[in-house]
Structure 1
Amino acid sequence: MTVLITGATGLIGQKIVKQCHAENINVHYLTTSKSKLSTESNYKGFYWDPNNNEIDHHCFEGVSVIINMVGASISKRWTDDYKKVILNSRTETAQLLQDTIKKYNYKIDHVVSASAIGIYPTSLINYYEETNTEISDTFLGTVVHKWEAAVDGFKALGCKVTKIRIGLVLARDGGALPEIVKPIKFGAGAAFGSGKQWQSWIHVDDLASLFVFAVQNEFDGIYNGVAPNPVSNKELTKAAARILKRPLILPKIPKFAMKLILGEMHILLFESQRVSSQKVHSEGFNFTFVNLKPALEDLLK
């Protein structure tokens, strides 16, 4: 089997490539950097420039599945211009892939795309399953809603479409975790706001395994990419501090302070989504990291 991965050189994409190779799945990948092109037998790069609608259509040759991970980071300040980048990097890339498949008449069986739990409204009491139809009225909710709609466009090409709504990804060298633990390491750690907001997290290795499992088991529809046991922001902060053997001496960090520092992006720290992993579990997927403590020990020690 050969899969085409967009975003293959990113934090999660690199892990997915590794998992694919472990399962003897060949990888084609798209990159905007010609210096990152590789021509190994099981790892072949192709150039694209979505901003100018350029793509090397040979990337689809022999490919039966697309794993779609492309998207600009949401962890940069949300100026009006950058908001457009966040949205367009998800929707216009999907359109370019669809237009190219159609133009050259390639046959793709399955598309497994990243999505995000940010589509769910913030709540301290709801327990969100994939059947939920409410959409968050935040910028992030709007982005995810439009992103999923763009990905659904693959259905018109005869593709099975899977959307994995990703939670807080815990990784050693990127994503949110290094930023969360940075103040803790300096003895300045604290929960955000009330600390009661839910954090539905997943270890990056489990997330990569889930994407490959979705390909191999032909998942269809929406799935939550979160571990089985969400925690509160306060629990996450305390657990990280214990593992790092650092005290938590500061009071909770108020919302207005983070709004001054981060602008609209501060909602990432205060949104609360308690999300169910039951659907992927019922499909037979087994998490390596079910609870937060072992996941943090693996990543922080």
Structure 2
Amino acid sequence: MAETVLITGGTGTIGRRLTQLLRQQGYQISLLSRDHKSIEGVTVYQWNIAKGHIDPKAIQTADYIIHLAGAGVADERWTDARKDEILNSRTQSTELLAQALAKNTHKVKAFIGASAIGFYGGDTADRPLTETSQGGSDFLAQVVRAWERSEDSVAALGIRTVKLRIGVVLSAEGGALPKLAQPVRLGAGAPIGSGQQYISWIHLDDLCRMFIQALTDESWQGVYNAVAPTPVTNETLTRAIASVLHRPMILPNIPGFAIKLMFGEMAVTVIGGNYVLNKRIADETTFRYQYADLTNALSNLLT
């Protein structure tokens, strides 16, 4: 009988692609959702994080859990209320899962939780960062630290727990790439800020394959930086997009102060940078990237 993977946040960009790839490999997929919407080929269970409710069948039928749920960091301006939502949607959902696992009979073999390279801080310049590097102190770093602490409550139950600190996910469907590519397509592409801030990126399919290997390979445990082997600067990324799309780069850089005026505190997600290395993936796992090269990744997604 096929094993079942329970996914939270399964209707987002990562969750949709992950569902496709897992189903191709013969897994049954179940999702936790706030509404009754049916999805073909997928079992949907209800949960309500605010009310502390989760359908116990979701836990009882799962062999693995992949936890992606969390309010989008760059979807809205960071008001105090939005900041609370960004934090609480991650920590409260994880705590609810841990409580459900503690009080229900289950057969869950592994819990693979999303995390983020925001752990290290919004702007760490060109300092190389590995899984053992110190965390930052800004808002996103505090969120990720609390998020990972909440995932420890699952590990405390004796369930193998993996935390993937996800970098900038390159996808044709959503996230940063379509926003970066659109002005380039229109002949208005330009680096942002200095253009020298580093972007630690990963192709969506490689990220999903990491999640799947973390499920099946019992040697995976703890924190991994889910990024491609080579971070690139914002200018390098923008020029690579222009090259793949055969568009010119003629405009000056978009100044950082203009980004700050537009986005407020959230501007750090655009003009900040991190040079994050995939040290544990490279040194301790058998994972092999399909898209380690930026040009190949962009060609796959944009052409």
Q: TM-score, length-normalised on structure 1?
A: 0.95
Alpha-carbon separation, structure 1, partners of 2:237 and 2:35: 36
Amino acid at match of 1:26: Q
Where does residue 158 of structure 2 map in the other structure? 158
SS at match of 2:210: helix
Match of 1:229 in 2: 230
Identity of counterpart residues, as a percentage? Answer: 39
Taking the aligned partners of 1:112 and 1:9, their CA distance within structure 2 comes to 17
Q: CA RMSD in A?
A: 1.4
Does residue 294 (structure 1) correspond to residue 296 (structure 2)? The answer is: yes
Please list every run of 5 or more consecutive structure 2 residues that lacks an aligned counterpart in the other structure.
none
* TM-aligned CA deviation for residue 71 of structure 1: 0.6
Equivalent residues of 2:60, 2:105 under 8 A apart: no
**Matched residue count:** 297
For structure 1, the 5+ residue unaligned runs are none
Hey, what does 1:94 align to over in structure 2? Answer: 94
Q: Which AA in structure 2 matches 1:64?
A: D
Given that residues 20 and 212 in structure 1 are in contact (C-alpha distance below 8 angstroms), is that contact kept between their aligned partners in structure 2? yes
- When structure 1 is superposed on structure 2, of 247-256 and 200-209 the one drifting more is 247-256
Name the aligned partner's letter for residue 270 of structure 2: L
Q: 1:244 matched to which residue of 2?
A: 245
SS at match of 1:269: helix
After TM superposition, the structure 1 = structure 2 runs for residues 254-293 of structure 1, keeping only pairs within 5 Å, are 254-282=255-283, 283-293=285-295
Report the counterpart of residue 79 of structure 2 in structure 1: 79
Moved more, 275-284 or 213-222: 275-284
Contact 2:229–2:277, Cα closer than 8 Å, also in 1: yes
The farther-off stretch of 62-71 and 116-125 is: 116-125
What SS class does the counterpart of residue 156 from structure 2 fall into? Answer: helix
Instruction: Kindly indicate whether the alpha-carbon contact (under 8 Å) linking 2:184 and 2:242 is maintained by their aligned counterparts in 1.
Output: yes
SS of the aligned residue for 2:247 comes to coil
Aligned to 2:69: 70
Corresponding residue for residue 104 of structure 2: 104
Q: Tell me how far 1:107 sits from its aligned partner.
A: 4.3
Q: Deviations over 1:218-242 (max 9, x none)?
A: 2101111111111100000111111
* Bigger shift: residues 61-70 or 219-228: 61-70
**Corresponding residue of 1:141:** 141
Provide the secondary structure at the position in 2 that maps to 1:51: coil
Task: Report the alpha carbon displacement of residue 37 of structure 1 after superposing the two structures with TM.
Answer: 5.2
Q: Helix, strand or coil: the match of 1:239?
A: helix
Counterpart-to-counterpart distance in 2, 1:37 and 1:150: 29
SS at match of 2:114: strand
String of CA shifts for 1:122-178, please: whole Å, max 9, x gaps: 33331111111x222221111111100111110221111100000000000111111
Map of 1:173 onto structure 2: 173
- For residues 126 and 24 of structure 2, the distance between their equivalents in structure 1, rounded to whole angstroms, comes to 40
TM-score w.r.t. structure 2 length? Answer: 0.94
Matching of residue 31 in structure 1 with residue 33 in structure 2: yes
Letter in 2 for 1:258: I
Given that 1:31 and 1:37 are in contact with CA atoms closer than 8 Å, whether structure 2 keeps it comes out as no
Which residue identity does 1:45 align to in structure 2?
A: V
